[in-house]
Structure 1
Amino acid sequence: MLPIAVLPVAALLLRFGSADLLDLPFVKASGGAIFGGLPLLFAVGIAVGLAKDHNGTAGVAGVIAHLIILEGAKTITPDLKMGVLSGIIAGIMAGYLYNNFKDTKLPDWLGFFGGKRFVPVVTALCSIFMAFIVGHGFPAIGAAINDIGMWMIQSGEPGLFVYGAMNRLLIPFGLHHILNSIVRFMFGSYTDESGAEIIGDQLRFFAGDPEAGAFMTGCYVVMMFGLPAVCLAFYVTAKKERRPALVGMLVSIALTSSLQGSQSLLSSCSCSLRQFFSLYTLSLWGHHT
């Protein structure tokens, strides 16, 4: 969740820096830099998140793994495009190696490289083998992901239904973030005005692809307004003596949900005014009943 937490800030910078708002290229470039570096952010965030003590050494190992895997695999498959998957693989591997080798003891003459310092070393060695595997194996995996993504994009409502259903089913296990990352950062491709190829539904939308953004619609207006309205209903209907104990938790939940939802609403404006007022009416109805 660490890399995902920064996405609202990146989206706000990207949107407010656009020519049709504040027209500040350096602000827009700042937001774009975060999205451009997502694979590296995922490598660090996942590695630190999986480390038992959340030590920064795991993050360093994640960066090393990401760089070696990506650049090594490209020597085998020059046109390799992995999106955030390279960072996910690197982060998982670095976190696993940290947990297993952080207490490694070496002979005295190699003592400097013992303990946590051994983790980046063993990660670099393992990353070489992973780069070989990825370079030879990912083209087939990437083609399969692309085929699934193109079907979901081109099929319209059936594809969106499949995505939405899988998203809801995976939420109890916390695995919906993996699905969201694949959809938003690996589905579809778009070539912008500068000739750069952009991959992923969310990144393509920010780059101006008119066919992107379908997978970001629907839930954000609920996140921004619906769930905060539910929190308000909980507070209003709670017993007066219980309200002080609830207000801190409910405000935190409402604020987090609203901020996470605002990144997409400000960037895509995909929800219509009619949808907003329908949701607002429903929230009022729920309050009175």
Structure 2
Amino acid sequence: MEKREKKVTFSQFQKLGKVLMTPVMILPIAGILVGIGSAFTTKNIVALWPVLGNTYVKLFFNLLKAMGNTINSYLPIIFAVSVAIGYAEKEKGIAALSSVIGFLAMNNVMNILLTSLGILDPAAMKTGQSMVMGIASLDTGVFGGILVGLLVAKLHNKYYNIQLPPVLGIFSGTKFVPMISLLACSALGLVMSVVWPFVQTGLGFMGEIIYDTGMAGSVIYGLAERALLPFGLHHFIYTPFFFTNLGGSMVIDGTLYEGAVNIYNAMLASPDAMFDVNITRFIMNGKVIFAMFGLPGAALAMYHCAKPERKPQVKALLIAAIIPSIFTGITEPIEYSFLFAAPLLFVVHAGYAGLAYLLTYICKVNIPGPSSFGGPFLSTIFNGIMQADKGSNWIWVFIIGIPCFFLYYFTFRFMITKFNYKTPGREDDGQEVKKLDKKMSDEMMATIIEGLGGADNIQHVDACFTRLRVKVKDKALVMPDTDWKQKTGANGVVQVADGVQIIYGAKADIYKNNLKSALNMD
């Protein structure tokens, strides 16, 4: 029983990581808008191109920054709504409304309580306090939003179809959810008023330790983030650094910012602030190197090691997998192409990722790499080349990246041939490399449904960037892991307590929609 409880907890962590990706994926457009707006309003660029000093031109680029900061300034409530919707089983609109009410209630309660106790002064707020949706409150960041979203989703799933006594019948069903959410989140505000300052202090202390570790901290951060990818828990490495003072705190243009993403965006928007690698390392400057150079080198090695007759298929597979790595920072498709066939290659890759973080720290490369900043390629342009005056040191991306390409290439090629790893195109006879099609045939859909034990055995279908996540009634009816690759072209299968996660790379979300449509699921 204890073992099963651990598995369920692990599965829930994976689901939370998937839910958190929804608001994070809103950030790329915000980052691009702020990046463009900031790039064309810097003093040196305006001096070089005087036309940029025109009032209306300046207004245009300042509007772009304002549009991007619409997302950056309201991330906590965006997280609250996204988590509530992600976990709500039915009536997701009511869950979203309730999360907004709950988030405002939590902050209003903290405002009234802390102001009454003399702890909070809206005219002179201290570290850890800020204006949240126009309310002077504790700065709980996105974690406050996540807690509200989880609490509201829990209440929503329990009470959205509640039947109250006749005298209160008008409040039955979904109308009860906003009311109970208001009360529960108000209580959460009382708890947070007491607990959160201690959490902030602890995070600040940990942040100082990590900050002082310098290069070693960068290596550990980068290596751990990649190493947890196969378990779907890598989100829990970087998310605290992104959005809490674990990733640093800094005053920029008279305003205190906490969390690496918030600080970097403030630096980007500021006319005077310079980039700081101690902040940038936590928003994945090392990922620019291995996603844009290292993994393409690995892909080329796998292509050259493929059997001649299978190279055309492998080429299509690897190109489709490497494009998102370079342009969006989504590296899972290429990583899963060798993770299950050759786990030792992934161990080497995780080590090289740590090395990339080390080198970018030493060379002070101030270019973020995740998809939330547009991905490595666009980030190199908008946050690197166009922000050279802020100390982006973009030239080092290519000085480090090109050798990294060959390091991956020769390492992978040596290990694949030395240990005869069954990477794409080297499978035994009878195993076929599946091409990444844009549409799924009815035959493929039928195979997947049958492999999951039939339509009656499927309880829930979802997907993240690369995984089709399916909850089933009886796992014994699911076909063996090896059959998924041979029959459906899957890159691998991860077993969880209540189902399976089938890795299809970029096709996962398409497969989810097709599967739901075939099963008539909402």
Q: TM-score, normalised by structure 1?
A: 0.84
CA distance in 1, matches of 2:243, 2:109: 22
- How far is the alpha carbon of 1:160 from its aligned partner? 2.4
Aligned partner of 2:291 among 217, 223, 226: 223
CA distance in 2, matches of 1:5, 1:248: 23
Aligned partner of 1:257 among 329, 334, 358: 329
Contact 1:84–1:185 at 8 Å: present in 2 too? yes
Equivalent in the alignment of 1:56? 93
- Judging changes above 3 Å, is the alpha-carbon distance between structure 1 residues 171 and 270 closer, same or farther for their aligned structure 2 residues? farther
- Judging changes above 3 Å, is the alpha-carbon distance between structure 1 residues 91 and 251 closer, same or farther for their aligned structure 2 residues? same
- How far is the alpha carbon of 1:91 from its aligned partner? 1.3
* Structure 1 counterpart of 2:29, one-letter code: V
* Structure 1 counterpart of 2:22, one-letter code: L
- How far is the alpha carbon of 1:165 from its aligned partner? 4.5
- Judging changes above 3 Å, is the alpha-carbon distance between structure 1 residues 74 and 233 closer, same or farther for their aligned structure 2 residues? farther
Deviation per CA, 1:24-74: give whole Å up to 9, x if none: 111012112211111111111111112235823222222222221123223
CA distance in 2, matches of 1:196, 1:176: 31
Counterparts of 1:134-213 in structure 2, within 5 Å, are 134-186=192-244, 187-193=247-253, 195-208=254-267, 210-211=275-276, 212-213=279-280
CA distance in 2, matches of 1:228, 1:115: 53
Contact 1:3–1:45 at 8 Å: present in 2 too? yes
- Judging changes above 3 Å, is the alpha-carbon distance between structure 1 residues 231 and 8 closer, same or farther for their aligned structure 2 residues? farther
- Judging changes above 3 Å, is the alpha-carbon distance between structure 1 residues 154 and 107 closer, same or farther for their aligned structure 2 residues? same
CA distance in 2, matches of 1:157, 1:275: 16
* Structure 1 counterpart of 2:221, one-letter code: Y
More strand by percentage: 2
Equivalent in the alignment of 1:120? 178
Deviation per CA, 1:221-272: give whole Å up to 9, x if none: 3233444554566567472574598479636754543682336544364662
Runs of 5+ consecutive residues of structure 1 not aligned to the other structure = none
Equivalent in the alignment of 1:281? 406
Match of 1:218, SS state, is helix
CA distance in 1, matches of 2:32, 2:149: 26
Match of 2:257, SS state, is strand
- Larger Rg, first or second structure (1 or 2): 2
Number of aligned residues:
288
- How far is the alpha carbon of 1:103 from its aligned partner? 2.0
- Judging changes above 3 Å, is the alpha-carbon distance between structure 1 residues 215 and 107 closer, same or farther for their aligned structure 2 residues? same
Equivalent in the alignment of 1:31? 68
Deviation per CA, 1:140-184: give whole Å up to 9, x if none: 111101111122123312332443344345434433323322102
Contact 1:84–1:181 at 8 Å: present in 2 too? no
More helix by percentage: 1
CA distance in 2, matches of 1:244, 1:165: 28
Aligned partner of 1:73 among 103, 106, 110: 110
Match of 2:329, SS state, is helix
Equivalent in the alignment of 1:17? 37
Counterparts of 1:235-274 in structure 2, within 5 Å, are 237=306, 239=310, 242=313, 246=317, 250=321, 253-254=324-325, 256-257=328-329, 260=371, 261-262=375-376, 264-265=379-380, 266-267=382-383, 269=392, 272=396, 273-274=398-399
CA distance in 2, matches of 1:110, 1:245: 62
249-258 vs 63-72, which moves further: 249-258
Equivalent in the alignment of 1:96? 154
CA distance in 1, matches of 2:290, 2:112: 45
Match of 1:105, SS state, is coil
CA distance in 2, matches of 1:98, 1:39: 20
Match of 2:141, SS state, is coil
